[in-house]
Structure 1
């Protein structure tokens, strides 16, 4: 007779499950755990790929907090994150509510999701051409309306907001569908009870929808926050960190240190700092939003 584990699985079933999990474990350790551990090790070394790593202790970390370009890249990244998350979350919530209240058409949901299915590099290139100062369609329209042409990617005050809006355009549909899934899961009788009590649309949204969406919104905010801090490709194919470092986000700075200046030890230390910062932000965000509970659990 086969013995069972505490969870009710037989040993043979557990062994079969482990066999099927082996590819996932290999992928995890090969493409995540080992590179992460090696990156942490390299952050304590001086390494340029032309010679073996030389252990230098915490010198790279000391250098980081004396590096004005690092602090500028953090500020630039925070500017992008605030613009991207703020605009994207509000628009996604609005789209999701409109979908939930007025239509649940699969065709419309597919149309909303279409921009997300396009590669980010392609989206960046298309918008880069559309916003071109001389030949771009947007500036041609502005010129036709008698308005001044604008250097969207060439102006240090407009470059980062433009990049943020490009990424909002691509991701807002996906985010809206995540929120829409949360809206669909809210019991209909909760809304009916609110309507019976005489609550209007705004009161229902504020007192019923938002509290019950807390777990979904927490998930969406964590995902978009972490993704926003990883911004690289859009910048790489449009501004390359310019003009005047106005769009040199932290990931762009890490790339420049690693592959342009071949300072892999310092770049690894920057990546470790970013990893710790994102982990702290994600944990704090979950705590503040109380991601594991909503008003139905009370």
Structure 2
């Protein structure tokens, strides 16, 4: 097969994926940017109003509240999910029957978000929830997890960490198993402790995996919607009102598609900026060359 035929076969195989990306990602993204500068209620004509929707967001208390809530939620989920997944992966890396434990931790990932939300609504119920009943058995009065303004976001963040733990743990396990054993054998000969081996071997060689998991956590945490929508509807008093929930409310309950699209563009830019910052900072601590040896 000559090079020309190989090129066309390559186009043939990537064609469906490329078409899907253009139709379902690129075109909607362009349309969202255009719609963010329009006034439109979903029906009738669209009216160009420039950056007015963005100025409206700056003075919209609901949007600012959603932005702050999402930032707080992300601060809870990103380091919590990253550290817990790494610790469990390290614990399972050498244990017998790790395939069983890997399956056990991964099971919540394949469960639908609505099902998970409903189950955790019962677990966190302040009156009849299983968690508070267990606390009551040891003489502790359980709080109102989902109706207390101070506890609702940490409660949802805890659910999200548990729900995504399996995916992040499996990724870390794959990274750990790709580290050559010869490095640890050399460290054992030199008399290195477990902490020294983790600091000088495991973490540097695991840095590309850590970087990937951190990127995915940033993206998913800023896009949180299902948990707050199913469990609290953004309450109490918008204490769990997030950016994606705000976008949904503006578009499908108020028919304000222009401000909704503007909020979506802002969310896109926030995720893009944080991702670019991570890529920039990663040059100092991510060791791709060492990890590929």
Q: Kindly indicate whether residue 201 of structure 2 is the aligned counterpart of residue 208 of structure 1.
A: yes
Distance in 2, matches of 1:154 and 1:222, equals 31
| Change over 3 Å in CA distance of 1:161–1:109 after alignment to 2 | same
Say how many residue pairs are matched: 291
**TM-score normalised to structure 1 length:** 0.93
**TM-score normalised to structure 2 length:** 0.94
Q: Which runs of 5+ in 2 are unaligned?
A: none
Show the counterpart of 2:150.
Answer: 157
Show the counterpart of 2:288.
Answer: 293
1:83 aligned to which of 76, 100, 104: 76
- Once the two structures are TM-superposed, the CA of residue 295 in structure 1 deviates from its matched residue by 4.0
Q: Is the 8 A contact 2:235 2:241 kept in 1?
A: yes
Q: What does residue range 62-73 of structure 1 map to in structure 2 within 5 Å?
A: 62-73=55-66
Q: Is the 8 A contact 1:215 1:294 kept in 2?
A: no
Show the counterpart of 1:7.
Answer: none
Q: Is the 8 A contact 1:81 1:229 kept in 2?
A: yes
Partner of 1:262, secondary structure, is coil
Q: Which runs of 5+ in 1 are unaligned?
A: 5-9
Runs (4+) of structure 1 exceeding 6 A deviation are none
Q: Is the 8 A contact 2:205 2:287 kept in 1?
A: no
Q: Is the 8 A contact 1:211 1:294 kept in 2?
A: no
Distance in 1, matches of 2:172 and 2:289, equals 15
Partner of 1:213, secondary structure, is helix
Distance in 1, matches of 2:224 and 2:14, equals 31
Q: What does residue range 1-298 of structure 1 map to in structure 2 within 5 Å?
A: 10-103=3-96, 105-290=98-283, 291=286, 293=288, 295=290
Partner of 2:229, secondary structure, is helix
- Once the two structures are TM-superposed, the CA of residue 18 in structure 1 deviates from its matched residue by 1.6
Q: CA RMSD in A?
A: 1.7
Q: Is the 8 A contact 1:133 1:139 kept in 2?
A: yes
